[in-house]
Amino acid sequence: MAQKDVGNKIPIYKLKTTDEVMRYYDDWGIKNKYDQDMVDWKYSGPKETVEVFKKYEINKDVKIYDAGCGTGLVGVELKKYGYCNFDGADLSQKLLDLVPKNLYKKLSKVDLNKKIEIQNNTYDAVMCVGTFTFGHVKPPALDEFLRITKNKGLICFTVNEGIYKEYGFDKKIEELKESKKLNIKEFFKSDYIKSKDVNAWLCLAEVMK
């Protein structure tokens, strides 16, 4: 496995297909084991990403799309800082069922590897944390995120370091920069799941149209 043998530490990284991932997450959500594991592993992705986002977005009423929201960990962090207008989407209905009530304006079961059924320029920002990882969502999803985000809006996402080059995220991000579709404001390696020695690249960029 690229860079680090994380598959033995985090079994979901061994999965290859969308169906396998969905079944795993559905089981992971039973008795709230997913949230407990995130606490036990000291998963910092949502906290780190929202802390970066709030530096660039001071308007707390902006409309945000949380792509791959899981049980709502990013939503919880957004709410801490006063953001109040965000929708969530995830592949696993079992995880969506665990999202705290009234946290999101709307929740949808969505496969982010397919076209998102949302009109162009709907959102002021897209957050995608923990979703660009082994066997999960591939680089073309970034095109969809740009499409549904308004001009000068923000996208803020993490990419697991183990798939950054293997899946072609490095080339995709460079392509979006070169074509002047993304103006990258921050790009660095975050702690992510420090307890498991798993890092991710964290990117915040302005959408240019």
* Per-residue pLDDT at 135: 73
pLDDT per residue as tens digits for the range 58-97: 999 999 999 999 999 999 999 999 999 999 999 989 899 9
* Per-residue pLDDT at 19: 72
Name the least confident of 29-43, 126-140, 162-176, 181-195.
Answer: 29-43
- Checking if the pLDDT of 204 tops 90, the result is yes
Tokens in use for 67? 């792509």
| Strand 107-109 to 123-132 pairing | unpaired
pLDDT per residue as tens digits for the range 102-116: 999 999 999 999 999
User: Model pTM?
Assistant: 0.86
Q: What percentage of the chain has pLDDT greater than the value 90?
A: 68
* Per-residue pLDDT at 173: 98
* Per-residue pLDDT at 133: 83
pLDDT per residue as tens digits for the range 2-13: 444 444 445 556
Task: Indicate the angle between helix axes 169-178 and 141-148, nearest 10 degrees.
Answer: 40
Tokens in use for 161? 């370091």
Please report the domains of the chain, with CATH numbers, ordered by start residue. Answer: 11-207 (3.40.50.150)
Q: How confident is the model at residue 209 (pLDDT cuts 50, 70, 90)?
A: very high
pLDDT per residue as tens digits for the range 31-53: 566 656 655 656 788 999 999 99
**Burial tier of 114 (Cβ tally within 10 Å: 0-12, 13-18, 19+):** exposed
Question: Rg (Cα) of the chain, in Å, rounded?
Answer: 16
- Checking if the pLDDT of 163 tops 70, the result is yes
Contact 17, 135 (CB under 8 A): yes
Pairwise CA distance, residues 9 & 174, whole Å:
30
Q: What percentage of the chain has pLDDT greater than the value 70?
A: 79
